[in-house]
Structure 1
Amino acid sequence: MEEAFATEIAKSLLGKLSSFASEEFCLAWGLDADLDHLEEILSAINAVLHDAEKQQEQNDKIRLWLQKLREVLYDAEDVLDEVECETLRRKVVKTTGSTSRKVQRFFSRSNMIAFRLRMGHKIKNIIGRLARIESLKSQFNLSEQTIDSHVLHEETVMNRSFESFSGLIGRDKDKERIINLLVEPFKVGDAHPLVFSIVGMGGLGKTALAKSVHDDEIVKTNFEMKIEACVSDGFGLKQVIQKILKSATGDRCADLDEGELKKKLEAILNGRKYLLLLDDVWNEDAQKWLLLKPSLSKGAFGSKVIVTTRSQRVAEIMGTVSAYNLSILGQEHCLSLFYKCAFKERQMELYPDLVGIGKEIVAKCKQIPLAVINLGTQLYGKVDEKEWESVRDSEKWEEKGDALKTTKFPNLVVICQFLTPSLFFIQLFLTSQIKSILFADSLEGPTCKTDFEKCLSKSKHLRSLELLDDSEFEAFPEMIGTLKHLRYLSFDKNTKIKRLPKSIFKLQNLQALIVGEGLEELPRDVRYMISLRFLFLFTKQNRLPQGGIGCLECLQTLIIVLCENLEYFCEDMQGLKSLRKLFISGCNNLISLPRSMKCLTALEKLLIIGCENLDLMTIEEGKEEEIQTLSLQTVLLAGLPATLALPTQFLQGSTNSLRIFIIRNCPNIRVISECFGNLKKLQNLRIIDCPRLSKRCQKETGEDWPKIAHIPKIEIDDDDIEEETSNQGPVSSDLLQTV
């Protein structure tokens, strides 16, 4: 239901307004007072949104009120986005160092005043509209709730729904494994505190499982103090500490500042062995976690933290041991859960036909416990076959199931299918507040290109644009550079777009770019896309230019595939300060990687596959340099016949982080590097289709066995070597999913 998105949009806006408060540009442009006023009125509305969304099903006036609110919130989102866009534009222009009259005019006082007046007018307009909506809320007798009580309510509902109905059906083994980890005694060398993550998509029962573990009697006897806090609404240091203190002492300490809160938390934890449950973590900012962690380390050795999250990245940031990936529920367990929720005692025996219909309903639930519970409780006590058949044949509940997989902040999506192109474009023009356009079919026909440009021109606040199929397009229109709110652009199925228009590099807000196979060149101007975090690249260049990709300081994932002409990377890769994942595949003419690879201190996953002429030792050419501390956790090298040895310096930098190392079909690598003996965190080593290397690494008899004997899990070709002391499961054969 679209109206239900109002809460999420409001939360997002309040978070953005909070971050704006300390930004220099808000003060310089004189927007701080207007933004403070906007935050104040939005907070007042946000306080009643939870109650409004509960009542809208029974009250059409409230539903209409939420719909009007949502429209204003989308407009407010666009205005704040515009302020952000302008800030990014100024940053780009400033860093180019140009002294042209055009640039001087851009930074002139008159230009800044004009922008301030324009934005001030828009913000005041939003404030006025929100004020009118806020004044209407008194008609509905809506109760105000603080964020904490909202979170507590959600947490209580989730716990009650799973525990009272399901009794954690089908999760006994999961629970046992987690408890065994929690009650393990502290050993020298263990992380302090140990942080254990339960990861899985929404609706699997992560919270219920964690809560059941947290409250288990065996666990209780192993910890002096048990604390829990739901942090779904934010991970600010002050906010999280207040929630922890509230659970530990019953007092939220609202009158204390951040420094005083830290001292109080540290005093409470000092010397005590505790178990902390941090539920529903969304924060992917490592810095926020690192600010909290020192206070948590004041507890006694053996203290542990359970984290529940949908994000693998959260687990990577916070976890000190391997994450526990919660799987979907088995079909038989889903049936048991459904029958328990849908039938009263002994009803199953009286209504066998309903049992059969129930089985068909459960088959549609995709083995997600929350979907099973929702449908079961909807039918609880009902014995009319038509009602059960209505649920079975309805598609509405599937929307709820799919919603479990959506991102935290859903947006509007318009799918254009060109059965009759002009008709669909006309429908698009009549739709307001479009955020995302996905073209599902080919753009063909005499008017489609023109209509496509008209479509984009009508969607000034577009956030996402994706072409799913090949089309007749040979170039994006120049006006694409005006879509300054665009965050995601994908045309990977297109083979005819050979060059990108210069205007596209004005998209300073773009965060993900996925290009098509026909692209001949990615110009240096890509450096102006300063918000880019994800880049999927095909190119026909033989060298990536200096001052291009290497300048993308925010880039986190770089995937380069099937670039048959590519021989050399850019030498300035040290500029990729945030790069965490690098995947290179099918670049058969690639000869070398730059020495600056050794400066990628944030890199966690490196996968290089099918590059026949690549010699990895080029990373270490030139004078020997000081070894940098790296963050590599996973390395996969496959199909590299020209590589004769592993880059020692590169591996030495990963001594304290590398956990998984796979070498496959690299027949000319003959020796394991001496530095492998220092990789103390390495848990999994696989050597496959590397005959010379495999021979040297055979257990007990191989010349290189002493270098790797400390690794818990080793697989060499078809042999599976595992130390008796290892608790690790088998290495996953589908490691590409880690990308």
Structure 2
Amino acid sequence: MAWSAVTSAVTTIGNLLTQEAIYLWGVEEEVDRLQTELKWMQSSLMEAETKQSKDERIRLWVAEIRELAYDAEDVVKEFALKIGSKNKGGLPSRIKRSACCLKEGWMLHKTRSKIEKIIERINDLVRRLQTYGVKELKDRGEESSSSTERRESRPPYPHIMDDNIVGLVDDTEGLVKVLKNESGCKVVTIWGMGGLGKTTLAKNIYHHHQVIDYFDHLAFVYVSQPCRKRNVWEDILSGFKTLDDADRKKRDEDLAEKLCNKLEEKKCLVILDDIWTSEAWDSLKPAFPVATGRHSNSKILLTSRNRGIVPYADIRELKCLNDQQCWELFQKIVFPQTGKYRYSKILVIC
């Protein structure tokens, strides 16, 4: 069954992320995102499997989902095994190789490319299923407090590894203050080179208890390459639990207007992860009050390697970890339970 295949892939990838993250060094964010997309696909799959006997197209798509799950699991396991096999020489050789020269660069690029293609296929399949009446299956909590309701109604991503957040405490606290400042800038950019932890910081903000309590709605959306504005708008509305079948048939202008109205009515936080170009932002901004001159208490938080994506944004530059922070992060990943000072005398080779 497709459900079993997807569940297996989610479990395997999750175990690798939490227990053997060292062997995913360089592709953690991509693998984390892949796991997220698989979980989203699961939300549509149960209904799809019940309808496949009545519709040949849905049956074929369910079969394709099964193959996608196998591909996803294979590409992650293959990368982890190759990296692991190259490091049988022990920990010191791993440190030396990582600090001096990353020979696996070509493998990183190839794996990232494979993951991106799988994610694109997942998104395409989910949208096709939804076009034919297969909806997401959502579980809502019954608790009465508004804070709890918001937390329960949020989509089950992004996944975050709290134990491995190093050097981001001050950045997190600073961003929370900025986002809660009603007179502050409505658009905030987390800016920095690749691999510094921009997505991790954004996830931490998304899960922060003060942020959850302060905003009425929150949405976390990965911006694909190339940017597809309609997909992003639909994902935001889906995160707010306000996307219906009629919205999927609306013109782009009308869909943007609905989202803009929602952001005016409620105090929302929209997190746009990994925007590459100012053109991508220009295509998205018609749906955001702050970019169209309309009053709103909602805010936009985006991550980017490009400082100038939004000229009027509050820029929060993410710095590289210092030597002590790098060592702390390394210990958390490699020796999570065996004692953080066991290898404290290993020299840093550069």
* TM-score for both structures, normalised by structure 2: 0.52
1:342, distance to aligned residue in structure 2 (A): 1.3
1:147, distance to aligned residue in structure 2 (A): 4.9
Partner of 1:284: 278
1:266 aligned residue (260, 263, 274): 260
Instruction: Determine the C-alpha separation between the residues in 1 that align with 2:340 and 2:287.
Output: 51
Instruction: Give the 5 Å matches for 1:177-188.
Output: 177-186=174-183
Partner of 1:146: 123
Partner of 2:171: 174
Is 1:356 aligned to residue 345 of structure 2? yes
Is 1:248 aligned to residue 240 of structure 2? yes
Note closer, same or farther for the CA distance 1:346–1:264 as it changes in structure 2 (3 Å cut): same
1:226, distance to aligned residue in structure 2 (A): 1.8
Residues 396-452 of structure 1, C-alpha deviation per residue, up to 9 Å, x if partnerless? Answer: xxxxxxxxxxxxxxxxxxxxxxxxxxxxxxxxxxxxxxxxxxxxxxxxxxxxxxxxx
Instruction: Determine the C-alpha separation between the residues in 2 that align with 1:48 and 1:213.
Output: 34
1:307, distance to aligned residue in structure 2 (A): 0.7
1:176, distance to aligned residue in structure 2 (A): 1.7
1:220 aligned residue (212, 227, 252): 212
Amino acid at match of 1:265: L
Give yes or no for contact 2:290–2:296 (8 Å, CA) kept in 1. no
Give yes or no for contact 1:274–1:300 (8 Å, CA) kept in 2. no
Instruction: Determine the C-alpha separation between the residues in 2 that align with 1:295 and 1:249.
Output: 22
Q: Stretches of 4+ moved more than 6 A in 1?
A: 45-50, 155-158
Note closer, same or farther for the CA distance 1:57–1:145 as it changes in structure 2 (3 Å cut): closer
Note closer, same or farther for the CA distance 1:237–1:348 as it changes in structure 2 (3 Å cut): closer
Instruction: Determine the C-alpha separation between the residues in 1 that align with 2:66 and 2:192.
Output: 30
Partner of 1:208: 200
Residues 455-485 of structure 1, C-alpha deviation per residue, up to 9 Å, x if partnerless? Answer: xxxxxxxxxxxxxxxxxxxxxxxxxxxxxxx
Instruction: Determine the C-alpha separation between the residues in 2 that align with 1:220 and 1:158.
Output: 14
Note closer, same or farther for the CA distance 1:319–1:46 as it changes in structure 2 (3 Å cut): farther
Instruction: Give the 5 Å matches for 1:400-415.
Output: none
Give yes or no for contact 1:158–1:207 (8 Å, CA) kept in 2. no
Give the aligned length. Answer: 218
Amino acid at match of 1:195: V
Instruction: Determine the C-alpha separation between the residues in 2 that align with 1:257 and 1:263.
Output: 10
Instruction: Determine the C-alpha separation between the residues in 2 that align with 1:56 and 1:341.
Output: 21
- Runs of 5+ consecutive residues of structure 2 not aligned to the other structure: 1-26, 31-63, 79-120, 128-154
Amino acid at match of 1:171: L
Instruction: Determine the C-alpha separation between the residues in 2 that align with 1:56 and 1:173.
Output: 35
Note closer, same or farther for the CA distance 1:282–1:220 as it changes in structure 2 (3 Å cut): same
Secondary structure, counterpart of 1:312 in structure 2: coil
Note closer, same or farther for the CA distance 1:271–1:299 as it changes in structure 2 (3 Å cut): farther
Note closer, same or farther for the CA distance 1:157–1:356 as it changes in structure 2 (3 Å cut): farther
Give yes or no for contact 1:48–1:145 (8 Å, CA) kept in 2. no
Partner of 1:197: 189
1:52 aligned residue (60, 71, 81): 71
1:178, distance to aligned residue in structure 2 (A): 1.4
1:306, distance to aligned residue in structure 2 (A): 0.5
Partner of 2:301: 306
Secondary structure, counterpart of 1:221 in structure 2: helix
**Higher RCO structure, 1 or 2 (CA under 8 Å, sep 6+):** 2
* TM-score for both structures, normalised by structure 1: 0.26
Instruction: Determine the C-alpha separation between the residues in 2 that align with 1:247 and 1:157.
Output: 10
Instruction: Determine the C-alpha separation between the residues in 2 that align with 1:56 and 1:176.
Output: 36
User: Aligned-residue CA RMSD in angstroms?
Assistant: 3.9
Secondary structure, counterpart of 1:270 in structure 2: helix
Partner of 2:20: none
Secondary structure, counterpart of 2:272 in structure 1: strand
Amino acid at match of 2:260: E
Instruction: Determine the C-alpha separation between the residues in 1 that align with 2:204 and 2:331.
Output: 22
Instruction: Give the 5 Å matches for 1:439-454.
Output: none
Amino acid at match of 2:203: K
Residues 105-132 of structure 1, C-alpha deviation per residue, up to 9 Å, x if partnerless? Answer: xxxxxxxxxxxxxxxxxxxxxxxxxxxx
Is 1:338 aligned to residue 330 of structure 2? yes
Secondary structure, counterpart of 1:229 in structure 2: strand
Amino acid at match of 1:55: D
1:199, distance to aligned residue in structure 2 (A): 0.6
Note closer, same or farther for the CA distance 1:257–1:171 as it changes in structure 2 (3 Å cut): same
Note closer, same or farther for the CA distance 1:344–1:282 as it changes in structure 2 (3 Å cut): closer
1:49, distance to aligned residue in structure 2 (A): 7.0
Partner of 1:537: none
Note closer, same or farther for the CA distance 1:265–1:156 as it changes in structure 2 (3 Å cut): closer
Residues 151-191 of structure 1, C-alpha deviation per residue, up to 9 Å, x if partnerless? Answer: xxxx989843xx2441x2211111122122112132xxx66
Instruction: Determine the C-alpha separation between the residues in 1 that align with 2:318 and 2:66.
Output: 34
Secondary structure, counterpart of 1:238 in structure 2: helix
Note closer, same or farther for the CA distance 1:329–1:159 as it changes in structure 2 (3 Å cut): farther
**Counting helix residues as a fraction of each chain, which structure ranks higher?**
2
**Counting strand residues as a fraction of each chain, which structure ranks higher?**
1
Note closer, same or farther for the CA distance 1:48–1:156 as it changes in structure 2 (3 Å cut): farther
Give yes or no for contact 2:179–2:299 (8 Å, CA) kept in 1. yes
Q: Which moved more, 1:292-301 or 1:263-272?
A: 292-301
Identity of aligned residues (%): 22
Partner of 1:612: none
Return the index of the structure with the highest Cα Rg: 1
Instruction: Give the 5 Å matches for 1:132-143.
Output: none
2:251 aligned residue (248, 257, 265): 257
Give yes or no for contact 1:274–1:299 (8 Å, CA) kept in 2. no
Instruction: Determine the C-alpha separation between the residues in 2 that align with 1:158 and 1:212.
Output: 9
Secondary structure, counterpart of 1:332 in structure 2: helix
Instruction: Determine the C-alpha separation between the residues in 2 that align with 1:342 and 1:157.
Output: 25
- Runs of 5+ consecutive residues of structure 1 not aligned to the other structure: 8-44, 60-143, 365-739
